[in-house]
Structure 1
Amino acid sequence: MAETPASVADAGPSVTAGLLVVTAVPVEAEAVRAGLTDPSVTVAPVGVGPAAAGAATARLLALAEAAGRPYQAVISAGVAGGFTGRVAVGATVLGDRSIAADLGAESPEGFLPVDDLGMPPEVLGGGSDLPADPALLAGLRARLPRATVGPVLTVSTVTGTAASTAALTARHPTAVAEAMEGYGVAVAAAQAGLPFAELRTISNPIGPRDRSAWRMREALTALTAAAAALG
């Protein structure tokens, strides 16, 4: 595995060259860039959902390696929904794990994660639950001491009913946020042998879909503030 950028791991003043920060959409990328002080950090919007984000991230990593300027770490950043009672709207979240929350199968006993379906490990791509790089996460925690740390779920369908919220909360009792890209980006980073972490700011509570309750401006402002930890 490539080394974690030293200045992140040591909570130093900036990030060394070689950090790739990916977001889903351009407005998130703009918010991240607005908070950076190190121009060597690359920020790129890679699309919505785990498939688009994973494929685009893998392509960026491969192109950089082929050009002789490989990235040294990858961070998935953007806004997310937060679990009520665990994290507040406008807060910053650091994912200690990125979990593919809807990758698996239904059964009479309930949802079965893909890891429990009896497939050989080599076809699971590391499984549905990928941990953040410990050194990279430690550096971010040191620079963002007020951030809430916990699992961030990756879903292909955003949770929008009371029933689905209750089921997801029961399956993941320590999860703090839900987004749509982190796991895909984590898989791309793992395949490239690179450290990975996930940084999110909360725009809305997870639950019955209510756009009037979303605070996107506040979440993007918080994302800009948090990006200062990246360099």
Structure 2
Amino acid sequence: MPSRGPLLLLAATPMELAAFLRHTTLHVPPLAPGDSCAHGGLVLAVSGVGPVNAALAAGLLLERHAPRGVILTGIAGSFDTSRHPLGCIRLIAEEIWPEYGIAGARGVHARALKFPQGEIDGEPVWDRLVWDATADARALGLDLSNIPTARGLTVAGVTGTPRRAAAMVRRFTPDLEHMEGFPVALACRRAGVAFVQLRSVSNPVGVRDKRAWDIPAALAALADTGRGMGEKGIFLGG
């Protein structure tokens, strides 16, 4: 992994970025989707929501700043709130993109398309990426061994019904659902850059009744995690 260059801290929205840095000494200026700013050895950036915005931002920021590592942070939905409850924080160690491939009567099948999304370490990338997230964290000076790992599902269309949530679980066995992880992970893996994705849980997947959600708890979990990193000086290095 590259040892030089800034650390890139990326979130889909200004709200998530501000939450992560809430208890640090860093000032977060107003950033619109696609914006970034430098703070010494740290680059703060907002990608915008969704996999297209995330892919565009990741490619641009990796090219522009040649970072030593990328931390992607934000909120997510949980497929099983007994294992991944509202307000918890998780380290993503696998990403799935369920919308890539040929869509048939039994769902989307990536390999049926016969065009992988590239190669990583000589292996074709279809609809899954797996990496050693704990090792990538260590490469950035982070000990995240106390944070449970989880499998992320990246979607462009958020799961809006329990039926679809159950179908996603049967097909892909994910833990959390969000909208940016896969493309950023793929970009970092291709570039050989350490990648850490930290997600807090704000809602059960497939439930649109906001009374079952707890976004404030999810943002507070991001803030607590960011504070822990700030106290260790992670955001000061270059």
TM-score bracket for the superposition, by shorter chain length: 0.7 to 0.9
Is residue 2:57 matched to residue 1:56? yes
Q: What does 1:196-211 align with in structure 2 at a 5 Å threshold?
A: 196-211=195-210
- Evaluate the alpha carbon distance shift between residue 141 and residue 95 of structure 1 in structure 2; reply closer, same or farther with a 3 A threshold: farther
Q: What does 1:32-71 align with in structure 2 at a 5 Å threshold?
A: 32-36=20-24, 40-64=41-65, 70-71=66-67
TM-score (norm 2): 0.78
Is residue 2:79 matched to residue 1:78? no
Q: What does 1:14-33 align with in structure 2 at a 5 Å threshold?
A: 18-33=6-21
- Evaluate the alpha carbon distance shift between residue 120 and residue 199 of structure 1 in structure 2; reply closer, same or farther with a 3 A threshold: closer
AA in 2 matched with 1:78:
G
Decide whether the 8 Å contact of 2:137 with 2:144 is kept in 1.
Answer: no
TM-score (norm 1): 0.80
Decide whether the 8 Å contact of 1:132 with 1:197 is kept in 2.
Answer: no
1:177 Cα deviation from its structure 2 partner: 0.6
Find the aligned partners of 2:213 and 2:117 in 1 and give their Cα distance. Answer: 39
1:56 Cα deviation from its structure 2 partner: 1.2
Residue matched to 1:225:
224
- Evaluate the alpha carbon distance shift between residue 137 and residue 102 of structure 1 in structure 2; reply closer, same or farther with a 3 A threshold: farther
SS in 2 for 1:34: coil
Correspondence for 1:92 among 86, 89, 93:
89
Residue matched to 1:101:
98
1:190 Cα deviation from its structure 2 partner: 2.5
Structure with higher helix content: 1
Decide whether the 8 Å contact of 2:78 with 2:177 is kept in 1.
Answer: yes
Decide whether the 8 Å contact of 1:18 with 1:72 is kept in 2.
Answer: yes
AA in 2 matched with 1:169:
V
AA in 2 matched with 1:167:
A
**Identical-pair percentage:** 32
- Evaluate the alpha carbon distance shift between residue 119 and residue 154 of structure 1 in structure 2; reply closer, same or farther with a 3 A threshold: same
Find the aligned partners of 1:54 and 1:220 in 2 and give their Cα distance. Answer: 24
Decide whether the 8 Å contact of 2:116 with 2:126 is kept in 1.
Answer: no
Residue matched to 2:184:
185
Find the aligned partners of 2:221 and 2:117 in 1 and give their Cα distance. Answer: 38
Structure 1's unaligned 5+ residue stretches are: 6-16, 65-69
SS in 2 for 1:143: coil
- In the TM superposition, what whole-angstrom CA distance separates every residue of 1:13-69 from its partner, at most 9, and x where no partner exists? xxxx622121000011111222446863322111100110110121112111xxxxx
Decide whether the 8 Å contact of 2:162 with 2:205 is kept in 1.
Answer: no
> More displaced, 180-189 or 116-125?
116-125
SS in 2 for 1:88: coil
What is the RMSD of the two structures over their aligned residues, measured on CA atoms? 2.6
Find the aligned partners of 2:75 and 2:224 in 1 and give their Cα distance. Answer: 13
1:133 Cα deviation from its structure 2 partner: 4.2
1:156 Cα deviation from its structure 2 partner: 0.6
1:186 Cα deviation from its structure 2 partner: 1.3
Find the aligned partners of 1:72 and 1:104 in 2 and give their Cα distance. Answer: 32
AA in 2 matched with 1:150:
A
AA in 1 matched with 2:96:
I
Structure 2's unaligned 5+ residue stretches are: 27-38
1:137 Cα deviation from its structure 2 partner: 4.3
SS in 2 for 1:20: strand
